[in-house]
């Protein structure tokens, strides 16, 4: 029996709902999650992280303190993972901590652009006693890539099948699609493709918080109570991002409350109808991308918080006849564990000095070793 090869992955995504963490064993060429932990952000930290997505006063100072707060939140999840699994920190090779993306502007301004994840990996290494791998995206940007999405390489390792194309849709704050050709494909066959489709939960969560006082629409029940507004849906889908061809990535820099307010204007609409239309926007954009770029896929595996939205998945099934739309639970990992496991996998690649990006996904000039290591 192979000795354990243990890594921790931490993820706090654009939904800003908190931290998900996994302790994963990669021994024997497999991916096995030994423990999973999650924690909500403290209210003040969540508010500050959200505020830092837009320009404001004294940003450098506030971002530095938010990074400290995030490192402490991460460290709490790490401690829970170790306690739940009965594992000593010394047994963990490294942990991958993505940080909290607050700006993502690849290839803009000077043909390189930037992507900014708030974090304090040095403090996290100090608090956890474990080597930390962070700053995963900037190396890909330096090579001319988007720096995102990074999960398709992991999706291929976890969900890829030898004789069929599989599509994987992660619905966090932003939705991203991975198209995984059969792993035994002949030379010259299509390679892995992946890109951000557009908004996932971010706009729905914002609207639900503003008009229901709840952080998200549980199961999509509120959206299901409304009716889709065809004119509004068409207007939302007219944003140029949806017509762009991959490689492409996006974030709250574009799909944010100000964008939504500008789209809504001063028209009077029932709040539940807007929510139904925002759900349809996510479903329609993702389904359209699968039809355009993954026509031969008959299986769509959905992960991320959006996989728990029954209404959203029902709309995806309606828009994709002939495609099996299924949550990731029955195909490797539960939806809320997939992205955290991806950053454990990426941390392992960094430690082993193996590439973590896919140039076919990000548009980079080639494979690159991602991330920086902060020793404990």
What is d(CA 26, CA 344) in angstroms, rounded to the nearest whole number? 9
Residue 297 CA to residue 114 CA, distance in Å, equals 33
Mean pLDDT, to the nearest integer, of 140-167?
95
- Reply yes or no on whether the pLDDT at 245 is more than 90: yes
What does DSSP assign to residue 98? Answer: -
Residue 112, token pair as written in the block: 């390189």
For the residues 132-160, what does the mean pLDDT come to?
96
Rounded CA separation 326/174 (Å): 19
pLDDT of residue 241: 98
CA distances for 367 relative to 182, 245, 318, angstroms: 21, 21, 38
**What are 111's two structure tokens?**
């043909």
Question: What is the pLDDT averaged over residues 199-213?
Answer: 97
Over range 49-63, report the average pLDDT: 94
Question: What one-character-per-residue DSSP string does 134-188 give?
Answer: E--SHHHHHTTS-----THHHHHHHH--SSS-EEEEEESSEEEEEEE--TTPPTT
> How large is the average pLDDT for residues 217-236?
98
Return the structure tokens found at 315. Answer: 């709309």
Q: Is 89 exposed, middle or buried (0-12, 13-18, 19+ CB in 10 A)?
A: middle
Q: Is the pLDDT of residue 186 over 80?
A: no
Does 350 score more than 80 pLDDT? yes
Spatial contact of 131 and 93, defined as CB atoms under 8 Å apart: yes
DSSP code of residue 348: H
Buried b / exposed e across 229-254, counting CB within 10 Å, b at 16+?
Answer: beebbeebbebebbeeebbbbbbbbb
Q: For residue range 66-105, list pLDDT tens digits in order.
A: 999 999 999 999 999 999 999 999 999 999 999 999 999 9
Q: pLDDT tens, 122-133? A: 999 999 999 999
- Which tens digits make up the pLDDT trace of 283-310? 999 999 999 999 999 999 999 999 999 9
Q: CA 276 to CA 270: how far, in whole Å?
A: 10
Q: How confident is the model at residue 139 (pLDDT cuts 50, 70, 90)?
A: very high
What is the edge-to-edge ordering of all strands in the sheet holding 92-97? 32-39, 19-25, 6-11, 92-97, 132-134, 372-374
């Amino acid at each position: 029996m192979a000795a354990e090869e243990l890594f921790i992955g931490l993820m706090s995504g654009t939904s800003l709902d908190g931290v998900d963490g996994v302790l994963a064993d990669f021994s024997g060429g497999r991916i096995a999650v030994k423990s999973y932990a999650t924690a909500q952000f403290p209210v003040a930290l969540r508010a500050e992280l959200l505020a830092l997505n837009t320009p404001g006063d004294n940003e450098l100072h506030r971002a530095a303190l938010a990074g400290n707060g995030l490192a402490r939140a991460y460290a709490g999840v790490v401690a829970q993972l170790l306690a739940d699994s009965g594992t000593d920190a010394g047994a963990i090779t490294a942990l991958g901590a993505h940080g909290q993306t607050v700006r993502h502007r690849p290839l803009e301004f000077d043909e390189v652009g930037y992507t900014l994840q708030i974090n304090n990996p040095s403090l996290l290494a100090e608090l956890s006693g474990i080597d930390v791998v962070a700053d995963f995206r900037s190396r890909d940007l330096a090579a001319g890539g988007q720096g995102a999405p990074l999960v398709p390489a992991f999706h291929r390792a976890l969900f890829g099948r030898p004789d069929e194309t599989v599509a994987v849709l992660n619905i966090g704050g932003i939705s991203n699609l991975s198209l995984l050709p059969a792993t035994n494909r002949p030379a010259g066959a299509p390679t892995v493709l992946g890109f951000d489709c557009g908004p996932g939960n971010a706009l729905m969560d914002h609207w639900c918080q503003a008009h229901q006082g709840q952080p998200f629409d549980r199961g999509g029940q509120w959206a299901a109570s409304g009716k889709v507004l065809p004119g509004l849906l068409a207007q939302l889908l007219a944003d140029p991002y949806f017509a762009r061809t991959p490689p492409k990535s996006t974030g709250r820099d574009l799909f944010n409350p100000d964008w939504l307010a500008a789209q809504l204007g001063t028209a009077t609409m029932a709040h539940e109808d807007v929510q139904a239309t925002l759900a349809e926007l996510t479903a329609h954009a993702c389904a359209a991308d699968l039809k355009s770029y993954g026509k031969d896929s008959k299986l769509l595996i959905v992960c991320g918080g959006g996989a728990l939205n029954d209404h959203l998945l029902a709309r995806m099934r309606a828009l994709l006849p002939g495609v099996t739309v299924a949550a990731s639970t029955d195909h490797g990992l539960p939806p809320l564990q997939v992205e955290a496991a991806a950053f454990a996998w990426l941390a392992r690649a960094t430690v082993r000095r193996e590439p973590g990006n896919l140039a076919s996904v990000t548009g980079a000039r080639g494979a690159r070793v991602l991330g920086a290591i902060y020793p404990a």
